[in-house]
Amino acid sequence: MFEEAFETLGIAPTDDGRAIRAAFLRLARIYHPDRFVGMPEDVRSEAERRMKDASVAYEALRDVTKVERIAAPKGISKEELHERAEHYRRAMEERQAAEARDRERWRRWEEAERLARERMALEAEIEAMIRGKSAGPDTTQEPEVLEEESKPASKPPSEFAQRLDSARRGEKSPLVPRKKD
């Protein structure tokens, strides 16, 4: 296990805490997730994975060097050392399980927020449609009927209104400006 930790950190096995820390800091500068903010998801996830591996290796080696320093003067037995290692392993598993629960909770929360945003957009569209029908004239009627209702009976339609009517009917020739006689 310790060989893997040293291999992850990229250093030869050593008892020197400074060398272990320096190796970890070097990897942290390279793989820290804040450096990959604008990158694609697969690059960010790979960097996060490598950073976690480096962190786990550093913690394992750091704890071992601490235990060795503490164990030397006090004479900790192998059984107690294994018991502490087992306790550490269980704590790490609990921590990983808690992180997995948190990730799932946040995924559910984001999904709920997305659905709420979609529902709000739909409600806003419905409200706009309702306001549009109630605020203005009835838009279900033909445009000619609406225009005829709005025209005064005494005045003939303007040239613009005539051109607009012909455009609605699909005629193209009246769209060309007429020469005034």
Whether pTM > 0.85 for this model: the answer is no
Domains, the chain: 2-76 (1.10.287.110), 143-173 (no CATH)
Distance from the first to the final alpha carbon of the chain:
100
Q: Which two tokens stand for residue 97?
A: 């399980």
Q: Report the C-alpha gap between 60 and 7 in whole angstroms.
A: 13
User: How far is 89 from 144, CA to CA, in rounded Å?
Assistant: 80
- For 88-104, give the DSSP string: HHHHHHHHHHHHHHHHH
Q: What gap in Å lies between CA 61 and CA 67, rounded to an integer?
A: 10
Q: What tokens does 49 get?
A: 């994975």
Those residues whose C-beta lies under 8 Å from the C-beta of residue 178, and which sit 6 or more positions away, are 159
Residues 44-92: pLDDT tens digits?
Answer: 888 899 999 999 989 988 876 555 554 444 577 888 888 999 999 999 9
Q: Do residues 154 and 129 touch, judged by C-beta distance below 8 A? A: no
What are the structure tokens assigned to 12, written together?
């030869």
Tens of pLDDT, residues 31-48? 888 888 888 888 888 889
Is the separation of the CB atoms in 88 and 63 below 8 Å? yes
